[in-house]
């Protein structure tokens, strides 16, 4: 059985993952308006992935005898700029999420909950990928001219 403290902290992360989902959906809409259909497609995939993260956390809490909560989601920023600016935000955001998950691990250690530590390691592994992927795209955008950005837009439009 999960402790109430850990349950509440994971519920907070469910809210954070849903906020991330909204963030990426807002970015998708912005990029679509700007004519970057490929980047927009990539962001929509990211949006659904974040919802899966939220649901995965909820299912874990329930499996451990806790109560999962869908809480109020704060409004996400707007007024995004170029694809480079957008992906700079994505990378920085994912680094912050890694810190959040890391703090959850610290709490699971403090609560001596090995099962939750084990479960959260999957989320840590996911964050390694999220950081690397967004940094990879950001690095390419930094090097690309306008034509290169359109090639990258087309490539990211292939994300399965």
Q: Contact positions toward Mg ion, by CB under 5 A?
A: 17, 50, 53
Nearest residue relative to Mg ion (C-beta): 53
Q: What is the spatial distance between Cα 47 and Cα 159, in angstroms, rounded to a whole number?
A: 13
CB of 22 to Mg ion, least distance (A): 12
Q: How crowded is residue 113: how many other Cβ atoms within 10 Å of its Cβ?
A: 19
Instruction: Tell me how long the chain is.
Output: 160
CB of 151 to Mg ion, least distance (A): 27
CB of 102 to Mg ion, least distance (A): 13
Q: What is the spatial distance between Cα 156 and Cα 22, in angstroms, rounded to a whole number?
A: 19
Residue 83 near residue 36, CB atoms below 8 Å: yes
- Shorter beta-carbon distance to Mg ion: residue 4 or 59: 59
- Shorter beta-carbon distance to Mg ion: residue 129 or 139: 129
Q: How crowded is residue 4: how many other Cβ atoms within 10 Å of its Cβ?
A: 11
CB of 8 to Mg ion, least distance (A): 19
- Shorter beta-carbon distance to Mg ion: residue 44 or 53: 53
């Amino acid at each position: 059985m999960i402790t109430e403290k850990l349950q509440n902290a994971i519920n907070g992360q469910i809210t954070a993952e849903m906020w991330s989902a909204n963030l990426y959906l807002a970015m998708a809409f912005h990029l679509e308006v700007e004519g970057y259909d490929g980047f927009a497609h990539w962001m929509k995939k990211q949006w659904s992935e974040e919802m899966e993260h939220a649901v995965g956390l909820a299912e874990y809490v329930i499996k451990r005898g806790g109560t999962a909560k869908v809480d109020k989601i704060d409004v996400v920023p707007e007024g995004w700029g170029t694809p480079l600016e957008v992906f700079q935000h994505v990378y920085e955001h994912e680094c912050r999420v890694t810190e959040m998950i890391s703090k959850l691990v610290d709490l699971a250690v403090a609560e001596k909950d090995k099962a939750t530590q084990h479960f959260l390691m999957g989320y840590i592994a996911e964050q390694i990928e999220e950081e690397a992927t967004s940094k990879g795209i950001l690095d390419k955008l930094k090097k690309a001219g306008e034509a290169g950005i359109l090639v990258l837009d087309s490539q990211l439009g292939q994300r399965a």
